[in-house]
Structure 1
């Protein structure tokens, strides 16, 4: 069994960086959360993530704990969470050129549930999903680009699950916008994912191997 690894020396650097005592490039912290969840949401991980996020709004810590701990999931189903997520992200793409077809799919959603991730990956290559992914990503970056600590936190959190949508959801409470990106937390916590292709919304549901 793999054991979780916690780099307390790097954590000390992180605290010094956030407190303005030392300067580091954000890439210095790229491995801060790697391998820390190998044993699940343990008390040791909880202490570690509290230390990392204590310089920011408490919603960041609470979002991480919700996703990876045994906290009860929100009511509703994956279609509800996906629709809610897309409604919020539609606010970001409202005035984006070439987004008319994407907005049509969001406004009149047709769903396809898939069990094969390759179908999801194919949908992610379509124009609609590319526009959605890039515009939301650019929007988040624009909101945090002037805060070096927040920008570094985004890079640190990416190494929990290598999922940009999840990181954006973690940071939702810190983004100055009327678009709430936190609906993706429920999607991820329940082992689901989605993509928007040219005509419909594909929803992937993870099925554990017996």
Structure 2
């Protein structure tokens, strides 16, 4: 058993204390089925969590990157279709949160395939993409099944897989009560998709 996994077990048993950032690389270093079973075994819904994490890890690669990247880069038509499904999910999320302004933006947005430069330029602006992210993050944090240090550390390690909060939330979904289905985001990410919700459209790229 590697040192980081040993630290995790001691931390979850209350035998040692660590800052949650200590476990940022836990799932990148220990992602065999046996390790995942150990890591998630300290939480409810362990099999569900393990299955989600294993699915993400199996659909990704890590060569040449600090974080997991999708193995597949789908064609633009596939990305537009999957991006549209994720956009509809975001509209439902906005309705559940009661944020009418962003709901209307989602409802009227056209899905547009753009090059990486245009996407990155949009993401440098203060756009609805970030407004919705903040709303979702607040709702999830407020509805976690526990505020224990172990839950916080687990969320940190899930973020550490791909530096992607939505993907982390997809895996951790059994651990919070906010009714959100992030399966469409996972399918979009798995196809190599990146996106930006702007006031003038929903931009997708690779």
User: Structure 1 CA distance, aligned partners of 2:200 and 2:38?
Assistant: 44
Pairs within 5 Å for 1:74-113: 77-94=78-95, 99-113=99-113
Q: 1:84 to 1:111 in 2, by over 3 A?
A: closer
Residue in 2 that maps onto 1:184: 185
Judge which range, 162-171 or 19-28, deviates more: 19-28
The alignment's TM-score, normalised by the length of structure 1, stands at 0.74
User: Structure 1 CA distance, aligned partners of 2:121 and 2:42?
Assistant: 39
- 1:27-70 CA-to-partner distances (Å, cap 9, x unmatched) read 22223234x38xxxxxx633333322222322222112212315
User: Structure 2 CA distance, aligned partners of 1:94 and 1:189?
Assistant: 26
Q: CA deviation at 1:25?
A: 2.5
Unaligned runs of 5+ in 1: 1-6, 38-43, 206-210
Note the aligned Cα RMSD (angstroms): 2.9
Higher helix share: 2
Residue in 1 that maps onto 2:24: 30
Alpha-carbon contact 2:86-2:188 (below 8 Å) kept: no
Residue in 2 that maps onto 1:64: 53
Residue in 1 that maps onto 2:175: 174
User: Structure 2 CA distance, aligned partners of 1:111 and 1:20?
Assistant: 48
Q: 1:88 to 1:149 in 2, by over 3 A?
A: farther
Residue in 2 that maps onto 1:55: 42
Residue in 2 that maps onto 1:41: none
Secondary structure in 1 matching 2:32: helix
Residue in 1 that maps onto 2:68: none
Residue in 2 that maps onto 1:157: 158
User: Structure 1 CA distance, aligned partners of 2:132 and 2:25?
Assistant: 28
Alpha-carbon contact 1:114-1:202 (below 8 Å) kept: yes
Q: CA deviation at 1:80?
A: 4.7
Q: 1:80 to 1:18 in 2, by over 3 A?
A: farther
Unaligned runs of 5+ in 2: 61-71, 73-77
Aligned length: 187
Residue in 2 that maps onto 1:3: none
Alpha-carbon contact 1:92-1:135 (below 8 Å) kept: no
User: Structure 2 CA distance, aligned partners of 1:139 and 1:121?
Assistant: 27
Q: CA deviation at 1:121?
A: 2.3
User: Structure 2 CA distance, aligned partners of 1:111 and 1:86?
Assistant: 8
